[in-house]
Amino acid sequence: MAGPFTRRQLLGTLGTVGGTALAAGFVPMAFPEALAADTNKTQRQWAMVIDLRRCDGCKACTEACQETHHLPANFEWIKVFEVKDKHGAAYFMPRPCFQCENAPCLRVCPVAATYKDGEGVVLVDQERCIGCRMCMAACPYGARYFNYVEPPAYANPFGKATPQFPVPQQQGTVGKCMFCVHRTDEGQLPACVEACGMGAIYIGDLIEDVATNGEETVRLSTFLKENDAFRYKEDLGTGPRVWYIAGHGQLLEQ
Amino acid sequence: MDRRTHDRYVERAMWPIGRGDRNFWIAVVALSLLVGAGLYAWVYQVQRGLWVTGLNQRVSWGFYIINCVFFIGISYGGAMTSAILRLTNAKWRAPLTRLAEATAVAALLVGAVYPIIDLGRPDRFLNILLHPQVGSPVVWDVVAISTYMVASLVFLYLPLIPDLATTGASMRGGPLKRLYGILSLGWRGTPGQEASLQRGIGVMAVLIIPLAVSVHSVLAWLFAVTARGGWHSTIFAPLFVLAAMLSGVAAVILVVAAFRRVYGLAEFITAKHFRYLSYLMIALGVAYLYFMVSEYLTEGYLADETTAPLLEAIFVGSYAPAFWSFTTIGLIFPLVLAAWPGRFVIARACTASALVIAGMWLKRFLIVVPGMAEPAMPWDWGRYAPTWVEITITIGSAAAIPLILIIFFRFFPVMSVHEMEEVEGPPQPRGVVLTPVYAEGAGE
């Protein structure tokens, strides 16, 4: 062709280039889980059971979590709510991150800083997080915490902060409970499970179908079934990985 | 239109260009001080972090998100006003469209900064382009706002081209003349150029409507895709679109009234213009009221466990003063005031517009803050009180809109000359007296 591009040809070329780029770039971006899933690590699917019959509201779990992750006092990644029911009776309800299978926080993140690891734990890449707090608006359980202030300095033994052990937290980004995957990967219990003197918190694996609070080990499915375990706001379809065992008539309140 | 009126119109549209009288400088300095204070507060916040705001773990969105929705809403109303008048071929539009289109751009320039002000890590803003997750409403926002930004700039620029040529031709020389020469793209008013321009403006007037609708729908989905009571509503997108148009038309009324007075445009912008714009505002206001009643009625009637506490807080609880002020003083009263027949059309339209604008800001507050303060785990209500940083940034950004407009209209004609000529036809020789179309009924 002798002359310059005609407009139609130019548009056609641009369209092809642009379309290919879009297809190549956006497809994986739209499905971050597909990228994030680490196929070598699928031998576990973490779950948690919290036995409300045993919780006495001592907040040892919260304190242990804060100590492990070097968090300030208002960062309650596992927060113990004191709930008064309609009849005036009180009970305690610890709330970690529920590691939802269909996590609303994960879908709304504009930069895919939140992702799910191969073992069903929702992690935050604080190197990428832009701090828009859309995930905090989307989380139906208030499980996410924003670092408004500069967190205290801390020399991370792993060399640098990772999504699995995001310590110290980064100012201007969001953090949350991640089932202490830095501990479970080493065969240790999550800090809150270990700290609970009442043995109210169990960490479990859906694939092996076991759960333990450090003192006793139970068959997870049987344990849930026999104790009529429920999941909080299950009707939202988020698929929480945390089950509660009711002890004070809470089930009737749901 | 006779030659004399024609020349007078051109003179009125052009006289401030390149000039700076005392009032101009007073306004520029005063507004710049406010904008400067806002910028200082922003720098203060960037250096320290978001803890300098009143935001907290429960209420993590506040003034910045409210302002983002509010200012982009005003922009949308400006663009829609102009687009509607063009598409319906309203003959009286000529002195108004430029003001409406400029308002749209100025408000958008301000509103589009707010998502960045709100970020915890504004330095990583580009991550949205580098690692976009297309399923996120935040990404939809960035795409929609930037597309709309380009469109509203083009929408302002296209009708300006012939006026730029006229302005340049009237100058003796200097850098401004060269600038107008470049910007007017060699406009000579040939029939071919005229046809292209009209086609371009027509396409933009049609395009700007779905673009603006999409921007505001996407802003609404930022809230509506979550599971929060009062946010998860299917009516949110159209509700936001209506709110935007309502506040935008009100803003156009105020801008038009201000420039009419300061620039001495009273003989061309008459009570009739304010009456028609008021009609538009009233229609939108009534539609908004209807949507709002529909939303609250259906949610409140069922009153499920997430919406009931929220509606209680809004109707009779701690947010009730704000809600009932908005409903009465910010919506119903101004609509009645503007609709009432009789004298003082302009004064009433301006008062009503100011109240509507304040009311629509309050309504955005009532959407964002109680929706956040209502606890996800239903036991502890959040609290939010803005700090001086948020208030200063808000005031500074609001001052930026008149500042942009005042400076813009010292360089570009405040009323579209070309459009007036197009509507009125070529100027008639002296002695032939025709009532100008735009001024019909001007004696009211």
- Give the separation between CA B431 and CA A204, rounded to whole angstroms: 95
Among A83, A147, A174, select the one facing B379 at the smallest CB separation: A83
Which residues of chain B are within 8 Å of residue A111 when distances are taken between CB atoms?
124, 127-128, 130-133, 136
Among A82, A134, A148, select the one facing B51 at the smallest CB separation: A148
Q: How confident is the model at residue A34 (pLDDT cuts 50, 70, 90)?
A: very low
Please check the confidence at residue B15 and state whether its pLDDT lies above 50. Answer: yes
Contact residues for A139 (Cβ-Cβ < 8 A; gap 6+): A104, A105, B376
Which residues of chain B are within 8 Å of residue A95 when distances are taken between CB atoms?
377
Please check the confidence at residue A7 and state whether its pLDDT lies above 80. Answer: no
B60 touches A: beta carbon within 8 Å:
yes
* Mean pLDDT value across chain A: 83
B359 three-state secondary structure: helix
Contact B119 A172 (CB under 8 A): yes
Please check the confidence at residue A15 and state whether its pLDDT lies above 50. Answer: yes
Among A79, A110, A138, select the one facing B226 at the smallest CB separation: A138
Which residues of chain A are within 8 Å of residue B128 when distances are taken between CB atoms?
110-111, 130
Instruction: Please give the C-alpha separations between residue B48 and each of A149, A150, B70, B313, B347, in angstroms, as whole numbers.
Output: 8, 9, 26, 33, 45
Which residues of chain A are within 8 Å of residue B223 when distances are taken between CB atoms?
137
For chain A, the residues whose C-beta falls within 8 A of a C-beta of chain B are 26, 29-30, 32, 74, 79, 81-83, 93, 95, 104, 107-113, 128-134, 136-142, 145-150, 171-174, 236
- Give the separation between CA B417 and CA B436, rounded to whole angstroms: 14
- List pLDDT tens digits, range B69-85: 999 999 988 888 888 88
Residue of chain B minimizing CA distance to A253: B305
Among A107, A113, A150, select the one facing B135 at the smallest CB separation: A107
Contact A137 B372 (CB under 8 A): yes
A15 compared with A94, residue with greater pLDDT:
A94
Using omega within 30 degrees of 0 as the cis cutoff, is the peptide bond preceding B427 cis?
Answer: no
Residues of chain A with pLDDT > 90: what percent? 59
Among B57, B133, B372, select the one facing A111 at the smallest CB separation: B133
Q: Which of A213-222, B49-58, B175-184, B390-399 has the lowest mean pLDDT?
A: B175-184
Q: Which of B114, B124, B232 to probe by mutation at the A interface, max A CB count within 10 Å? A: B124
Side-chain-facing half-sphere of B330: CA atoms under 13 Å: 20
A169 and A151 Cβ atoms separated by less than 8 Å: yes
Angle separating helix axes B307-315 and B345-373, nearest 10 degrees = 140
B120 touches A: beta carbon within 8 Å:
yes
Residue of chain B minimizing CA distance to A77: B57
Closest CA to B145 of B218, B226, B209: B218
- The ipTM assigned to this model is 0.85
- Give the separation between CA B389 and CA B397, rounded to whole angstroms: 12
- Give the separation between CA B10 and CA B37, rounded to whole angstroms: 37
B62 touches A: beta carbon within 8 Å:
no
Residue A70 is classified by DSSP as: T
How many of the other CB atoms lie within 10 Å of CB of B115?
Answer: 24
Contact A140 B372 (CB under 8 A): no
Longest dimension (CA), chain A: 88
Provide the strand spans (E) within A170-229: 174-175, 201-205, 210-212, 217-219
- List pLDDT tens digits, range B265-302: 888 888 888 999 999 999 999 999 999 999 999 988 98
- List pLDDT tens digits, range B214-227: 889 999 999 999 98
B61 touches A: beta carbon within 8 Å:
yes
Please check the confidence at residue B432 and state whether its pLDDT lies above 70. Answer: no
B156 and B104 Cβ atoms separated by less than 8 Å: yes
A244 three-state secondary structure: strand
